[in-house]
Amino acid sequence: MEISVVWILGIYFVPVFYGFEVEARNLQSPQIEQPYRTAYHFQPPKNWMNDPNGPMYYKGVYHLFYQYNPYGALWGNIVWGHSISYDLINWVHLDHAIYPSDPFDINGCWSGSVTILPGDKPAILYTGADTKKNQVQNLAVPKNLSDPLLREWVKSNQNPLMTPIDGIDPNFFRDPTTAWQGPDRKWRVIIGSQINGHGTALLYQSLDFVTWTRSQKPLHSSNKTIMWECPDFYPVNIHGKNGVDTSMQGGATATKHVLKASFNSSDYYVVGNYEPKTDQYLVVTDFMDGTQPPLRYDYGKFYASKTFYDSAKQRRILWGWINESDRESDDIKKGWSGLQSIPRSIWLGKNGRQLVQWPIKEIEKLHGKQVNIHNKELEGGSVFEVVGITASQADVEVSFDLPNLQEAEFMDLNLANPQLLCSQKTAYNKGVIGPFGLLALASNDLTEQTAIFFRIFKSQGKYAVLMCSDQSRSSLIPDLDKTTYGAFVDLDPLREKISLRSLIDHSIVESFGGEGRTCITARVYPSLAIGEEAHLYVFNNGSQSVKILSLSGWSMKKAQIVPIQKRRKPPIN
C-alpha cells in the first residue's frame, strides 16, 4: 500500500491514501467550548463510544474498531465504528464497519476481535443480539482485500456460527477473543460467559473458522467471580519486552500466557502456563485469590480492554475504554461520552508475576515545549509549581530519591486495602515518608487538584510503596464520581528509585508508577483549573525530605483526527 504524509504549515497532517483524499480538519472541539474534550486521546467527533474492538496492524495501517452509538451520547444503537492510523496517534475516521442489519445481529453488534487468517485475510468475530436478544457469535470479512483501508465488511451467510446451547445462558455469551492456532492446525477462540454464577472462558475450536465446536471443558473458570466480559488471551515473552503473535507457542521456558477478564468494573488478569496440545491452562494465583490485592491492568478508570500484536514493531499493544465520571445529563450537553486510553506497550515484568505497561513511543511525536528539573530538595510540607509547559495538556516524568527509610511508618500488608488506605491517607494527611508526588489540573490556589502520590511503609521486614490517585478535590462541581484509587507498586525502594509518569489531557490523567508496574487512570472535571488556568505542582507532605532526582515535562500538541472527505476519481489513462 502506498501512503504519503504532507505537512501544512507544520500543523495539520494530511494522509493521502491511494485513491482517497482526506480533509485537513481537526475534529477535536475548541477547548473554550468543550473544556473536557481531550486533545491527544482517541475520541470520535461526537456521541457515545465504549469498548475497543479488533485493533490490528494490517499492511502498513493500524485499524481500531470500537463500540459506537451514531445517534447520541448515551449507550444504545451499537455499531462498530472504524478509524485508521499509521502511527496510533493521529487518526482518520471511516464509515461504520458493522451495523445491525440481519436477524443474527438486529439488536446490536457488540464486542469482538480480529484474527488475521493465512493469506493475510482479516476476519472479525463479533457478538450479535438476535431477534430474541440472545447473544450469538458472528463472522464478517472484508468485501475487497485490495482496498488497503478495509472500508467495507461482509457478514457470513452462515451466521450465527456459535449459539448459546447446552445450558449456556443466552444473556451471558459474548465478546470472542482473537483466535489462535494450535499445533493440530485448529483455531481456538474463547467466549466470555457465566456458568452457575461463575466467570468462565468457554473454548471453541474450528478447522475452517466457520464451523465451531465447543470443547468439553472451558479454558478457565473461577468460582470467585461473576460474568467475564471482554476476555483476552495471549502469550508474553518470559525474556525481553518483545511481543509475541497470538498463535505463537514458544513453550513453557519461552512464554507464559495472560488471561484477562473484565468484571466488577475493572480489568483483572492472571499469568499462567498454557499447554496447546491439551488446552490446559494452569495459574499459580487465580483471580481474587491470595493475600495481596488481585492483579489489574489499571486500578482506576479502565475497562473492556483489548490487545493486539503489532508485527511491524514486534510489540503487544493494549487499549482500554475510559468512561466518564460525570452525569448522563452532562454527556448529553457535551454531545459525547467515552474515550480510549493512550495505546500502551505491554510485556511481562522481570519478576515473571505481573505485567508492565508504558505509553507507546510514538506519543513523543506530540512533545512540544520542555522543562527539566534536577536534584531539587523537597522539604516536608513544601510545594512548588512546574512552569514553562501547558499544564492542562502535558506529559510529565519524575523520579524521587528518598531519605532514611528506617523512619517509615509500619503497616501489616496482609490486612491492607490500598484503595481504602488512599481514601483515608489523602495527599493532605501528613505522613513520615510521603505523601509526595504531583498535583495535576490544579487551580492557582490549590482549591482544585488531582493528586497522584506515593507513601512508604515498613511491613514484615521490607518496604511497601503505596501509589494513590486522589480525585476528592478535583472539582468544585457536585455529583461527580470522585473516587480515590490506590494500589501497591512492586518495587524495593532500597534498590530502586520511585518514578511517576502522568499523561494529563484536560479531563483525564493516566499515571504510571514504578516504570509502568502500577497504572491508575482518573477522569476529572475541574471548574477552575481549565485550559490556561490549570497548574502543575510537585509536593511533599511528609515529615521527611525527599529529593527530585529528575523531572522532565512537555507540553503536548493536539493529535490530528480527521474524516475522509471524498474518494478521488481514478486517473485517466
Question: What mean pLDDT, rounded, does the chain reach?
Answer: 92
24 or 79, which is more confident: 79
- Lateral strand order in the sheet of 280-283: 229-237, 255-263, 266-275, 280-283
- 3-state DSSP assignment of residue 306: strand
pLDDT in tens, 403-444: 889 899 998 877 789 999 999 999 999 999 999 999 999 999
- Which amino acid, 565? Q
Three-class SS state of 251 = coil
* Confidence (pLDDT) at 544: 95
Q: Please check the confidence at residue 517 and state whether its pLDDT lies above 60.
A: yes
Residue 364 grid coordinates: 513523543
pLDDT of residue 166: 87
Query: One-letter amino acid identity for 315?
Result: R
Residue 567: which residues within 8 A CB-CB, separation 6 or more?
Answer: 19, 20
Q: What pLDDT score was predicted for residue 416?
A: 85
Q: Which residue has the higher pLDDT, 414 or 205?
A: 205
Residue 504 is placed in which grid cell?
494529563
In the chain the domains, ranked by start, together with CATH numbers, are: 56-176 (2.115.10.20), 188-325+343-359 (2.115.10.20), 371-556 (2.60.120.560)
Please report the pLDDT score of residue 388 as a whole number: 97
Return d(Cα 491, Cα 493) in angstroms, integer. Answer: 6
Q: What is the DSSP string of 443-510?
A: -TTSSS-EEEEEEEEEETTEEEEEEEEE-TTS-S-SS-----EEEEE---TTTS-EEEEEEEESSEEE
6 has pLDDT over 70:
no
d(CA 390, CA 383): 18
144 Cβ neighbours under 8 A, 6+ residues apart: 152
Mean pLDDT of 190-209: 97
Main-chain phi, psi angles of 95, to 5 degrees:
-65, 160
* pLDDT tens digits for range 102-133: 999 999 999 999 999 999 999 999 999 999 99
pLDDT at 291: 66
Half-sphere exposure of 381 (CA within 13 A, CB side): 1
Q: What is the pLDDT of residues 367-408, one digit of tens each?
A: 999 999 999 999 999 999 999 999 999 999 999 999 889 899
Task: Please name the amino acid found at residue 419.
Answer: Q
- Give the residue numbers marked as catalytic: 51
Mean pLDDT of 85-108: 97
Number of H helices, E strands in the chain: 2, 41
Who contacts 548 (Cβ-Cβ below 8 Å, separation ≥6)? 373, 374, 375, 376, 377, 378, 398, 399, 400, 401, 538
Cell matching residue 195: 456458568
Give the bridge partners for 512, in sequence order.
501, 519
**How many Cα atoms within 13 Å fall on the side-chain side of residue 201?**
25
Q: How confident is the model at residue 8 (pLDDT cuts 50, 70, 90)?
A: very low
Q: Which of 26-30, 40-44, 223-227 has the lowest mean pLDDT?
A: 26-30
When pLDDT is averaged across residues 189-199 and rounded to a whole number, the result is: 96
Q: Residue 571 pLDDT > 70, yes or no?
A: no
Q: Quick one: cell of 374?
A: 534536577
Q: What is the pLDDT of residue 29?
A: 43
- Averaged over 212-241, what is the pLDDT? 96
Q: Pick the range with the lowest mean pLDDT from 10-24, 311-325, 327-341.
A: 10-24
H-run or E-run covering 222: strand 220-222
Q: What is the mean pLDDT of residues 60-75?
A: 97
Residue 30: pLDDT above 50? no
Alpha-carbon torsion (545, 548, 554, 559), positive or negative = negative
Higher-scoring residue by pLDDT: 496, 9: 496
pLDDT score at 93: 96
pLDDT value at 565 more than 50: no
pLDDT at residue 293, as a whole number:
86
Percent of the chain with pLDDT over 70: 92
Quick check: 25 pLDDT over 50? no
CB 32 within 8 A of CB 22: no
